[in-house]
């Protein structure tokens, strides 16, 4: 399997490709991208053809557990409340998105709240970031 951008490049199709990744993609990312296209045209894109407005910040830099990472205090298991979850497989240090401010379920929760980031907005996340519960 290949991505749409790669397929279009191989077939010399000039239609622009905008990637809005995620598992699932946040509704704001989809609606915001479509609204931007309708109102202003194609938004500024990063090197992966993702809208920069949603995918230009490293999740890790906004994580509530970041200070633990800096102090090298890592969780040993999921019930641990104190410590960075990198040792449990968190992919936040490699993931760019604004999940930290957008959140899911009406703004109630997001991936690293009592869990880990699995890096689902990054290309080939399933192949490159698995097993999910092991550090990178």
What's the total number of domains in the chain?
2
Q: Are residues 28 and 82 in the same domain?
A: no
- Domain coverage including residue 106: 57-136
**What is the mean pLDDT of the segment spanning 47-70?**
95
Q: Are residues 24 and 47 in the same domain?
A: yes
Q: Which helix (H) or strand (E) holds 64?
A: none
- Please report the pLDDT score of residue 31 as a whole number: 98
- In whole angstroms, give the CA distance from residue 79 to residue 114: 8
- Average pLDDT of every residue of the chain: 90
- Please report the pLDDT score of residue 1 as a whole number: 64
Q: Are residues 133 and 92 in the same domain?
A: yes
Tens-digit pLDDT profile for residues 35-56: 999 999 999 999 999 999 999 9
Answer yes or no: is pLDDT of 123 > 90. no
Q: Are residues 105 and 129 in the same domain?
A: yes
Q: Which residue has the higher pLDDT, 52 or 116?
A: 52
Which pTM value belongs to this model?
0.85
Q: Are residues 48 and 63 in the same domain?
A: no
């Amino acid at each position: 399997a290949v991505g749409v951008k790669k397929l279009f490049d191989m077939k010399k199709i000039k239609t622009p490709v905008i990637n809005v990744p995620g598992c699932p993609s946040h509704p704001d990312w989809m609606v915001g991208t479509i609204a931007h296209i309708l109102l202003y045209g194609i938004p500024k894109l990063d090197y992966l053809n993702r809208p920069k407005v949603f995918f230009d910040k490293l999740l890790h830099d906004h994580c509530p557990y970041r200070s633990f990472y800096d102090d090298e205090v890592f969780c040993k298991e999921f019930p641990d409340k104190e410590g960075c979850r990198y040792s449990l497989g968190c992919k936040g240090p490699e993931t760019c998105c604004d999940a930290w401010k957008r959140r899911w379920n009406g703004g109630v929760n997001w991936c690293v709240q009592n869990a880990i980031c699995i890096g689902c907005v990054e290309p080939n996340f399933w192949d490159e970031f698995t097993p999910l519960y092991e550090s990178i």
